[in-house]
Chains A and B, each alone.
Chain A
Amino acid sequence: MTTTPRQVVVTGLGATTPLGGDVASTWEGLLAGRSGARRLTEEWIEQLPVQIGAPLAAEPPLARVEARTLDRSQQMALVAAREAWADAGSPEVDQERLAACVASGIGGVITLLTQHDVLREKGARRVSPHVVPMLMPNGPASTVALEFKAKAGVHAPVSACASGSEAIALGLDIIRAGRADVVIAGGTEAAIAALPIAGFAQMQALSRRNDTPQTASRPFDKARDGFVLGEGAAILVLEAAEHAAARGARVYGALAGAGISSDAYHVAAPDPTGAGAARAVRAALRSASLEPTDIVHVNAHATSTPTGDLAEAVALRTALGNHIDEVAVTSTKSMTGHLLGAAGALEAVVSVLALRERIVPATRNLDALDDEIALDVVSIDNRKIGAGAALSNSFGFGGHDVCLAFTV
């Protein structure tokens, strides 16, 4: 049986990132080619081999009492969700037709670590009664659902650095399946802490350019040596097209499709053939009823790791064929660092804006394209793009491959 799926549109955007406390300042930062990376100054940083990161540009503007029962990842999700909801015009929606899909890759790790210190130093009686809701990976989704009284379901797909994209893909499925009319979807991550940095560093996943943080994240560049850990949140309001039309909502564009696959190759290393990633891209095209030739822009996962960027380049050529030579490829992470479970959501926001504004922000720090990477990576100057569709890739430890397709 073939049926035409419900069309899903994007009607609200929100973000808090290393470049700015909202979407406008983040977008402006991207167009200006700014880097959100800097040397970290926390006292625990001295013991670590990696001493750089990309923290939030603006601390979450929440009231003290509101903030004290929320993990930092939940605070950021709330800030981004409030912006997105207001941006969507604070839609009147039946609460039982409103769902929340907000993902995090790691969950409330800062709460986990600080409360473990409390347990060891002060004893069990002093452990916060809020600790479990603060550290559970579905905490940010729950925070957002409580704020907007979303009663059609609260979801938090966990797939490491693909989590934000998977949450958006799930939101698409939910609306297409008719289980909700509006979904608040996205990702959040607050993992700039000693243990996660030490762990990623042990995996050789992080850049060690401690003395030059702003040029450390250099996706597709010959001299890339790992990613820069960022933090932040990004949220999209997804809405059934007819629901948005009925209320006269401003529409940014359509979430035309999504593809999900898995590598089953290695827990952390990407499959060098890019086969799993290519299958996700092709699945996204099918889901969106698009051909490779419809694609004008790819917002690549491109974290700046030696193996990951190369595998993605291979995957894109496998999936799109020689049309990839006509596609403007960028890496948002060259400026924001890697927001892990929020990365896909932020890059979805950026992809939507790029299509709408017909311009893609140039990739920073691409001084010399890796000889093995045959992609048209936009660098130095932002580039105008024509009408068409954009893809946003996200891959995660665990072998997760997610690709989102947007059209305007």
Chain B
Amino acid sequence: MSQDILAGLAVILEEVAGVDPADVTPEKTFIDDLDVDSLSMVEVVVAAEEKFSVKIPDDDVKSLKTVGDAVSYIQRAGVAA
């Protein structure tokens, strides 16, 4: 499950920001490690909402520092839904 989410995020990050999928590992931070700027991060979130059928409110996006944070969030939000 979390591996599927991780792989899905890698696809989105490659599409939106040109991140090499091999670099997308749980401990990486979006902004500093993967060089995803704040505007592209919005695109990543919207694409993730669509891909995983979840809602990620803007206020929660700030807490998603690492890829692992996002995987856990999506996993929880998916279960709740």
Contact = CB atoms under 8 A, between A and B. Distances in A.
Contact of B18 (A63, A125, A130): A63
B46 interface: yes
Interface string A50-92: 0000000000000111101100000000000000000000000
A129 B17 CA distance: 13
B79 interface: no
B18 A69 contact: no
A65 B17 CA distance: 6
Interface of B is mostly: helix
A384 interface: no
Contacts of A65: 16-18
B17 A130 contact: no
A128 B43 contact: yes
A130 B43 CA distance: 9
Contacts of B16: 65, 68
A128 B47 CA distance: 11
Interface in A114-137: 125-126, 128-130, 133
User: On chain B, which size bracket covers the interface?
Assistant: under 10
A69 B46 contact: no
A125 B46 contact: yes
B39 interface: yes
B66 interface: no
B39 A130 contact: yes
Contacts of B42: 129
Contacts of A129: 39-40, 42-43
A65 B40 CA distance: 11
A126 B46 contact: yes
A133 B17 CA distance: 16
A66 B16 CA distance: 10
Interface string B12-47: 000011100000000000000000000110110010
A68 B42 CA distance: 14
Given A65-B17, A66-B18, A128-B43, 16 more contacts: A64-B18, A65-B16, A65-B18, A68-B16, A69-B39, A69-B40, A125-B46, A125-B49, A126-B46, A129-B39, A129-B40, A129-B42, A130-B39, A130-B40, A130-B43, A133-B39
8 contacts: A64-B18, A66-B18, A69-B39, A128-B43, A129-B40, A129-B43, A130-B39, A133-B39
